[in-house]
Chains A and B, each alone.
Chain A
Amino acid sequence: GAVVSQHPSWVICKSGTSVKIECRSLDFQATTMFWYRQFPKQSLMLMATSNEGSKATYEQGVEKDKFLINHASLTLSTLTVTSAHPEDSSFYICSAWGGQRDQPQHFGDGTRLSIL
């Protein structure tokens, strides 16, 4: 089945640091990639949608200057959390979609971000 790889799986860093998370579709071309965050015991919350070569579309309440998204190729999207603070600590998950109506989104295994 379709595989989406997310890296790193876990990162701890100091407050004020910027952190980049990569999302790769390994065996298909992803016309659209999505970024979610999930707090403990809660559901996934969609942060933004990105199409290859276009600017990302952010959901209401998500700061585009804080969460920079780049989707430079059909197999790679990156999320950069700029000047991270403890409140940005969360589980970040990406998904990728190949653009065919009868095919679902496939998710990465998430990145646990802890800001000290």
Chain B
Amino acid sequence: LAKTTQPISMDSYEGQEVNITCSHNNIATNDYITWYQQFPSQGPRFIIQGYKTKVTNEVASLFIPADRKSSTLSLPRVSLSDTAVYYCLARGYNTDKLIFGTGTRLQVFP
């Protein structure tokens, strides 16, 4: 399974757009890139996933360049409630095993 690397922490202010970049140099051809959000004392919550180019849903966008060696999660106009840990993972095609890295701790200030 491809190892992912992302910043340990990020700070932002309410109303700003936040972009969290994840590096996955060894991603396999068929792996999906998946992002989860986790609040303290809760299980991770699925945000978005993609294979290539751009994916958008009601809460976020995911940008994946052609070489798929990195991806960027974009959160538009964050609020205080977006303060959480965000995990980027490469989801294996054959096993669906997820290996969690350190995640990015996002702190949103008023």
Give the interface of A toward B (CB within 8 A): 1, 4, 6, 32, 34, 36, 43-46, 49, 91, 93-95, 97, 101-102, 104-110, 112
Contacts and interface: CB of A to CB of B under 8 A. Distances in A.
A101 B93 contact: yes
Interface in B79-102: 87, 91, 93, 95-102
A107 B43 contact: yes
Given A107-B43, A107-B45, A34 B93 contact: no
Interface of A: prevailing SS: strand
Chain B CB count within 10 A is highest, among A91, A105, A106, A109, for: A105
Interface of B: 32, 34, 36, 41-46, 49, 87, 91, 93, 95-103
A105 B98 contact: yes
A110 B100 contact: no
B46 A109 contact: no
Contacts of B103: 43
Contacts, number: 55
Contact of A105 (B93, B96, B99, B102): B96
A34 B98 contact: yes
B105 to A, nearest CB: 9
A104 B46 contact: yes
Contact of A43 (B45, B95, B101): B101
A43 B102 contact: yes
17 contacts: A1-B46, A32-B96, A36-B100, A46-B97, A46-B98, A46-B99, A93-B44, A104-B91, A105-B46, A105-B91, A105-B96, A105-B98, A107-B43, A108-B43, A109-B43, A110-B43, A112-B41
